Amino acid sequence: MAGFGPGRTHGSATLGRQMLVGEPNSGLVHFDIDAGVNISAETGVDGAIDKMYEEMATKGTPVIMGTLQADNQSIRVAFETGAAGWTAASLQAAFRALGDDVGPNSIDLTGATVADFTY
């Protein structure tokens, strides 16, 4: 199928970035989110992780959301490149704006950080 997928040279593929089928400039943008505090007890409905997801969904659909990292405060998330309305800086500001009383355990997200993540 000509024009579809990565370029091929002698039977091997050259892929410069992740590719999704669909939009011409599809791909994934990844972020590393650090809540700054332990959020391991915040996995339920209306918990801090749920509130963070709701915030992410206001400007895009997370297509991959990793499990809570071993430090109990970090999560990685990926958005489809063309559909993501977030930058690391804007997502960080949005999480911090959620305040210091998030979820049933009053999690303080005012120190949350977000960074671009690459593998």
Q: Quickly name the fold that domain 14-116 has.
A: Alpha-Beta Plaits (3.30.70)
pLDDT tens digits, residue range 54-108?
Answer: 999 999 888 889 999 999 999 999 988 766 688 999 999 999 999 999 999 999 9
Q: How far apart are CA 13 and CA 81, in angstroms?
A: 21
Q: What is the pTM of this model?
A: 0.77
Q: How far apart are CA 18 and CA 72, in angstroms?
A: 28
CB of 31 within 8 A of CB of 107? no
* Closest by CA position to 69, among listed 108, 36, 102: 36
